[in-house]
Amino acid sequence: MIVCGVDEAGRGSMLGPLVVAGITVEQSRIKELGRLGVRDSKKLSPSSRERLYKEILHIADDYVVSKVSPKVIDAHVYRHQLNHLEAQHMAKIIKKLEPGVSYVDSCDVNATRFGKELERLSSVGNIKASHHADAKFLVVSAASIVAKVTRDRAIARLSKEGRVGSGYPSDPKTVGFVRDCFARTGQVPSFVRKSWAPVRKITQSQLA
């Protein structure tokens, strides 16, 4: 049986893309992921993720990565549809990979509901959505590494624009970068998510 894992990286970031990744692996080879040291990408160092990224793609039957731009993210956040946006991209990946069963990390508080939405959007059955799936299922852990490495590389490219930090609101470098850009130019770069509360706080406070 072909097993699929799907996860995202960058959902909570102030800048850069949301990255959704899916991989498929023959069920008999999933244990190989464990032997490689695959686990939740958040528990791995950047160098470990980079190493595992290459080894995962060697084992995987197929994989798909989908990047969502800040502009598209903003449009959906303003309509309170961020979960639906993520579901659309996950469903697109599952439909393309055509697995026998899919394991997905749910962004919805109701994981069962999220799984049913994915089945409806993808027209593919046997989708099992759960919270913390990246820690429960090796195939989702592998997808989380692919998503995270892709996202890290995107942020590294953005670093040419200045010291953007990690991109997250908890990072003083990121907040300082956005604040300095707005103070200097009266606007924020196109790769910044304008709908995010920390960004709105910066732009509104400096306009007041």
pLDDT of residue 159: 87
- Return the sign of the alpha-carbon dihedral for residues 91, 140, 57, 154: positive
Query: Per CATH, the architecture of 2-158 is what?
Result: 2-Layer Sandwich (3.30)
pLDDT of residue 161: 79
Per-residue b or e along 10-34, where b marks 16 or more CB atoms closer than 10 Å to that residue's CB: bbebbbbbbbbbbbbbeeeebebbe
- Return the sign of the alpha-carbon dihedral for residues 85, 92, 63, 124: positive
Three-class SS of residue 69?
coil
pLDDT of residue 162: 79
* CA gap 121, 132 in Å, rounded: 22
pLDDT of residue 160: 83
pLDDT of residue 207: 54
pLDDT digits (tens, 9 = 90+) for 84-112: 999 999 999 999 999 999 999 999 999 99
If you search the block for the tokens 């197929």, which residue do you land on?
62
Q: What are phi and psi of 36, to 5 degrees?
A: -70, -20
pLDDT of residue 143: 97
DSSP for 108-153, written as a single string:
SSSHHHHHHHHHHHHT---EEEETTHHHH-HHHHHHHHHHHHHHHH
Is 159-207 a CATH 3.40.50.2300 domain? no
| Amino acid occupying residue 41 | S
Instruction: Specify the domain boundaries for CATH 3.30.420.10 within the chain.
Output: 2-158
Q: Record the pTM.
A: 0.94
Mean pLDDT over all residues of the chain?
95
Mean pLDDT for the stretch of residues 24-29: 96
* CA gap 19, 152 in Å, rounded: 10
Instruction: Specify the domain boundaries for CATH 1.10.10.460 within the chain.
Output: 159-207
pLDDT digits (tens, 9 = 90+) for 64-88: 999 999 999 999 999 999 999 999 9
* CA gap 132, 152 in Å, rounded: 21
Contacts of 62 (CB under 8 A, 6+ apart): 23, 24, 97
